[in-house]
Structure 1
């Protein structure tokens, strides 16, 4: 593709789509954002808010196949399933669990490390000069364990992080309590990782980034993209319910809703929704010093503006079923156990959809069948963390430049249909 200024339609106005728009504008292109749900209203609104650079180890670590049945039957575990959805889920689930081995875990981690490893710097570069800088906060990231033995049970994951250059400090007993006295006796051991960060209001942050896109000439259409229009094997437009947007290139960044349009682009992506929940405790009586991953409950507690956000849980139930009560109740139970005596003025609840390809690696790059059609979705639990890097990569590709690392693990061609 020529590097001359193009008109690019971006389907999806979450962190990936908005990041792509900003980097494209900086390269001299015109952008049109298209999203029927509004700007930053999906997982980009409800995520845990942590710039989790160390989160390179997939859920499909060794042992998952053995543990999963027991987790599903135990209401105190952070894995839920709407059983009526199981027949539809089964083909994806079989592929997904097929990666729960050491070799695939290491391979997936190696693919994720370049995407997330410098997340704080990528967000700072993305937000510079946009008015959204206020929400990007450098911070530590803590993993909390019951004791050293609980931590050592995660040795495989930590060995992978060490291989990719992550360093951390172990805090035990009095040293941990001195660092952050918020937590009760159930949490006796912490791993502290520096050079991380958090977004203090993810929804406001993405909206501020998008406002900058509009300020410098971008356009937003609140409508569902229905069809990618092509002529002679090349993108020529995007059809919504009300109009056809002429464009030179299109970017599909619609998160968990990307599957059907990816099919139009010649791909059969095994994609599911990992339904995630958050519970926000407003004006809490106790606020942790930094974002924490509480390993026993597999959830994150992140300080945000005026509230503490608890996020996590994996539920399989598709895109259309209503939220469940049990995951939210579990989050509340677990934070009361982790921070005894915590209280709050009021709470708010949310459920959303993480886009989960069966191989746990995002789909990033140009369609192998239609020129000018690019994809950027499938980031599982690290969409906020890796959004700016993904957007920069796609903008470079559209502008005719190659990113400075191997992008082949993310290639859409691995899902080419037919």
Structure 2
């Protein structure tokens, strides 16, 4: 039987980052996952460290948008009719937290995390030898119509108080930045503060290797076997059981399996998403991630090829994949950029862990000694993993925290 100071459950970007920050502060850490590092939700995303995403993805309020989604033929959103009884209560809470006043509160609470997201990544990347994976090229929102561009300009104005650099591109400016995009686009917005990662899965693996170099351990095991006894927190692994004084639940969309069991119910929802890689035809190059706002999908240059990513699918977390959004997006994407053959035979699917107020949980369990939480990062797990890992480690070690953690309490619901 092994013993350690802290057991971190979940080897996605959130759990790996928390483990590193704790190990750096003198805690002996064991990181546990049923799979390898970065092989679940953290593997599939747009690869953005979203330094400009101050305002969250709120529930739509325009009637036309709601009717379009209700028809279930959209590219950017899809739902399983059979899952609605389970999903609908969460969607109602999500909608209630998407009023202009509530979005403003969420943005204010998220800004201290967003503000430091890139600098925290850069520090870890430098230490992990992963800096070549980072591309400080920003990303582009491309608009097909003057109407959608006008709405984008309104959103740009909302970001002005945060000191972010967002360039407005006309059709010629867009072509200068991305020469292989189709002609006829109305324009775009180039968000310069974010950075892009060419292989998110490889980045998480590099961080996990850094943890081991710092003296931590990575083991395979069943996080859901967690129990507390007189010796501490115990979990089953492929070898012997591990007992720790403290445990961090960083299981992303599976976190509520433990929070519910230990009496900390949270309204954790899941937005499933898909991606598939494609080769570029001829000499075509995509320089940075590009969101087709009107088309409802995003293209991102990755080590594996051009990654086509979808919006949100509302379904039961463990339901079989239904990648209809990829099928809907692909013809549009091929008209926007010269995509060639698919690299993989079928799309990848993952689940984003989402709370209705669009903020993560970074907190301790008030009724259990040594129980901590770090989950619910919605669309921004890659963005926020290192910065929330730092905040959690500061809380656990009694250091002054770089920001007030109150907005991320688990009992706020």
Instruction: Provide TM-score, normalisation by structure 1.
Output: 0.91
Query: Is structure 2 residue 21 aligned with structure 1 residue 14?
Result: no
**Which residue in 2 is equivalent to 1:313?**
311
Instruction: Give the C-alpha shift of residue 386 in structure 1.
Output: 0.8
Do 1:140 and 1:193's aligned partners in 2 also have CA atoms closer than 8 Å? yes
Secondary structure, in 3 states, of the residue corresponding to 2:291?
A: strand
Match of 1:266 among 240, 263, 266: 263
Residues 1:275 and 2:263 aligned together: no
Shift of 1:296: 1.2
Q: Which runs of 5+ in 1 are unaligned?
A: 1-5
Match of 1:3 in 2: none
Query: How far has the Cα of 1:61 moved from its partner?
Result: 5.0
1:236 to 232, 236, 243: 232
CA distance in 2, matches of 1:70, 1:403: 44
Residue 225 (str. 1) matches residue 223 (str. 2) = yes
TM-score (norm 2): 0.92
Q: How far off is 1:19 after superposition?
A: 0.6
What is the distance in 1 between the residues matched to 2:6 and 2:332?
A: 45
Q: What does residue 202 of structure 1 align with? A: 200
Contact 1:52 1:141 in 2 (8 A): no
Q: CA RMSD in A?
A: 2.3
Asked whether the 8 Å contact 2:51–2:115 carries over to 1, the reply is yes
Once the two structures are TM-superposed, the CA of residue 227 in structure 1 deviates from its matched residue by: 4.5
The 3 A distance-change label for structure 1 pair 159 and 238 is farther
Q: Please give the residue correspondences for 1:376-387 in structure 2 after superposition, counting only pairs within 5 Å.
A: 376-387=374-385
Task: Output one character per residue of 1:288-324: Cα deviation in whole Å (capped at 9) or x when no partner.
Answer: 2211222113322111124111213210111211111
Any conservation in 2 of the 1:48–1:312 contact (CA below 8 Å)? Answer: no
> Which of residues 105, 108, 114 in structure 1 aligns to 2:106?
108
State the Cα distance separating 1:345 from its structure 2 match: 6.2
Give distance in 2, aligned partners of 1:30 and 1:364. Answer: 20
Distance 1:236 1:141, change over 3 A: same
Residue range with higher mean Cα deviation, 142-151 or 317-326: 142-151
Structure 1 residue 217: deviation in Å? 2.3
Is the contact made by 1:283 and 1:306 (CA closer than 8 Å) also made in structure 2?
no
Alignment of 1:328-339 (within 5 A): 328-339=326-337
Query: What is the aligned residue count?
Result: 408
The one of 394, 398, 403 equivalent to 2:392 is 394
* Structure 1 CA distance for aligned equivalents of residues 138 and 152 of structure 2: 20
1:89 offset after TM fit, Å? 1.3
Counterpart contact for 1:226–1:238, Cα < 8 Å: no
Question: Residue 8 of structure 2 aligns to a residue in which SS?
Answer: strand
Is 1:343 aligned with 2:347?
no
| Cα deviation, residue 127, structure 1 | 1.9
User: Which residue of 2 is the match for residue 326 of structure 1?
Assistant: 324
